[in-house]
Amino acid sequence: MPWQNLLHTRDRLPAMSLEDWYAALLERVGDSTPLNLALLGGRLAATPGLAFLAGYQAALRALWPAAPHSLGALCVTENKSTRPADMSTRLDELHLSGRKDFVTAAEAADWLLVVAREEAAGAAPRLAMGVVRNGDPGVRIEPLPALPLMPDISHGRLHLDRAHCERLPGDGWDAYAKPFRTIEDLHVLSAVCAWLYGVAQDSHWPRELQLRLLGLLAGCAEVARLCPSAASCHLLLAGLFTQFASLRATVDAAMASGPEEWNSLWQRDGKLLEIARTAREKRLEKALAELGL
């Protein structure tokens, strides 16, 4: 991890369309690791939402190293559920049909990873992962209203009508959808903490708080080396989120005493790391049981 890039960065990329912002980020980052993309993307982001977007895109590349150099999205949720048995989207001879109800940056995404069922009638659910291009025949994005949290990051609903796809190798659940939860948590945490470190530098937060944020980022770099399906990874990731939770009151106080620009953004978007807390807690309990702790 080239830490000097993070430590010496002092500017930010201005807010613009998500496609243009991400293209500008890639120009700055170059051909780098997913974690470096998350860290520098977070540091260069003007808002927590853009930091989230950098972490999310980094997580997609950690999941699928052959991903195109453009915005992408993972499409899993149907009717507020990610359980395989609740999915109705299907893959049939490299054609996808169905609907995904919550797709991050859907309108801006160039490519979409779609989890779909492919088992024979009456068999237990078996998932595959297909890739489609936004705008191709049979691929339609329905924009959805902005959310109160991170309103600058759009989302939408994906409609598929026998859309031709590329099928990725491996099981769609075990190789992609399931590990992505952990990968996304790690890279979004990294990006948001990098954003906070930039605010800390600009706002002249206490040196101790800046060092604690850097220590947390160093821990993220170590966990990024682990297999995301391993119990040890889930345990250590839980440790990182616990560290962040212990910093939260101090960060909130520093924000409140600093420029209103940063504080208002943090008041609006600061809970973004709480989104998947329940799922993380369940993974931690399973990890503790598996490790006998």
Q: Quote the mean pLDDT of the chain.
A: 96
Q: What is the pLDDT of residue 5?
A: 87
Domain spans of the chain, in order of start: 3-63+175-291, 72-167
Q: Which whole-number Å values give the CA distances from 138 to 45, 95, 109, 119, 155, in the listed order?
A: 34, 9, 16, 22, 19
Q: List pLDDT tens digits, range 124-156.
A: 999 999 999 999 999 999 999 999 999 999 999
Q: Which of these, 293, 241, 224, 198, lies nearest to 1 by C-alpha position?
A: 224
| Residue 52 backbone class (left: φ over 0; alpha: ψ -120 to 50; beta: rest) | alpha
> Does the pLDDT of residue 31 top 90, yes or no?
no
Q: What is the pLDDT of residue 1?
A: 57
> Are the CB atoms for 141 and 101 separated by under 8 Å?
no
Give the CA angle between residues 186, 192, 198 to the nearest 5°: 135
Q: List pLDDT tens digits, range 179-202.
A: 999 999 999 999 999 999 999 999
Q: Which of these, 103, 237, 83, lies nearest to 159 by C-alpha position?
A: 103
Q: In the CATH hierarchy, which top-level class contains the domain 72-167? A: mainly beta
Strand partners, 141: 158
| pTM assigned to the model | 0.97
> Are the CB atoms for 256 and 264 separated by under 8 Å?
no
State how far the Cα of 13 lies from the Cα of 106, in Å rounded to an integer: 21
Higher pLDDT pick, 4 / 233: 233
> Are the CB atoms for 55 and 128 separated by under 8 Å?
no
Question: In angstroms, how far is CA 275 from the centroid of its own chain?
Answer: 11
Q: What share of the chain is helix, strand, coil (3-state, %, to 5)?
A: 50, 15, 30
Strand partners, 156: 103, 143
Q: What percent of the chain has pLDDT over 90?
A: 94
Q: What is the pLDDT of residue 30?
A: 86
Q: What percent of the chain has pLDDT over 70?
A: 100
User: Residue 254 gets which letter from DSSP?
Assistant: H
Q: Return phi, psi of residue 101, to 5°.
A: -90, -15
